[in-house]
Amino acid sequence: MKEPVFTGVCTAIVTPFTDSGAVSYDQFARLIDRQLEGGVDAVCVCGTTGESATLSVREHVGLVEACVRRVSGRARVIAGAGSNATAAALSLSQRVQDAGADALLLVTPYYNKATQDGLIRHYTYIADRVALPILLYNVPSRTGVSFTAETYKALSQHPNINGVKEASGNFSLLSHTHALCGPDFHIWSGNDDQVVPMMSLGAEGVVSVASNLVPEVMVRMSHLCLEGAFQEAAALQLRYQALMDALFIEVNPIPIKAALNLAGWAAGPLRLPLCELSDGHREALRQAMEAAGLLQHPAA
């Protein structure tokens, strides 16, 4: 049986930039330290929240290397390495594997709108040529294509395909996948506001945006679910629902970067075509953070 790459919380960490637009490696280390202090089980570097689509290959690999060094075995390091081109995804996967990542997160190829057979061929081609476990990433709102449960079943047979970050919001897909694939194919929530319901249906944790800001909350919520304490976990989910909603008031990672900056964590600007949060949404975010007691600046 395949062991899950992680259980609990994996933070989809932001990539901090300086005002001039360069990667801020000093601040990146500080953000990683915050996650480790918060007890997260894994860190996902260079995913959607890390603005991977705006990074050069050199920056991408450099961030993975920096994350691996800073984490130093205290949590799993999952590296985003997906692409709309299979050859590009393989090349990046091999480079971040060499950089020391523990696992790969590979989003469905975007823009191409591959068929289900195309998805099977794409992931099998990569999985045959890497040594690391692979987390599939299903986010059809961004990529224009979704897996079916039957495709998950076919891919689950590959020894290097560990499971999926499921961000479709499709609970029927989740239940059908569990029924078809069984315990040898692991599922993680890709949506912060669906952690408890997804884990009640067998998901093993969450790849979280909110944990950039509130790692202890997301660790507590997910670990309560792992212990079967779903009622207590649900109460925590509902308590932070307004904050989670505010963190997606505009497309991710615009709000989480704004929130980190408001809280004093110096995540820096975004890279175009992403731009700063609108004034009205910034005020709504500020109010949600204030209600959650999050506007005390961290110590220098």
Looking at the annotation, which residues are catalytic?
137, 165
| C-alpha span between 212 and 162 (Å, rounded) | 24
Pairing between strand 76-80 and 42-45? Answer: parallel
> What's at 81, amino acid-wise?
A
* 3-state secondary structure at position 298: coil
| C-alpha span between 89 and 109 (Å, rounded) | 9
| C-alpha span between 97 and 188 (Å, rounded) | 22
- The two three-digit tokens of residue 35, written as one number: 């996650």
User: CB 162: neighbour CB atoms within 10 A?
Assistant: 24
Q: Nearest-5° angle of CA 150, CA 151, CA 156?
A: 100
Q: How many CA atoms lie within 13 A of 290 on its CB side?
A: 6
| C-alpha span between 92 and 111 (Å, rounded) | 19
Residue found under tokens 């075509």: 273
CA 134 to chain centre: 13
CA 285 to chain centre: 21
Q: How far is CA 252 from CA 36, 64, 116, 261, in A?
A: 22, 20, 27, 15
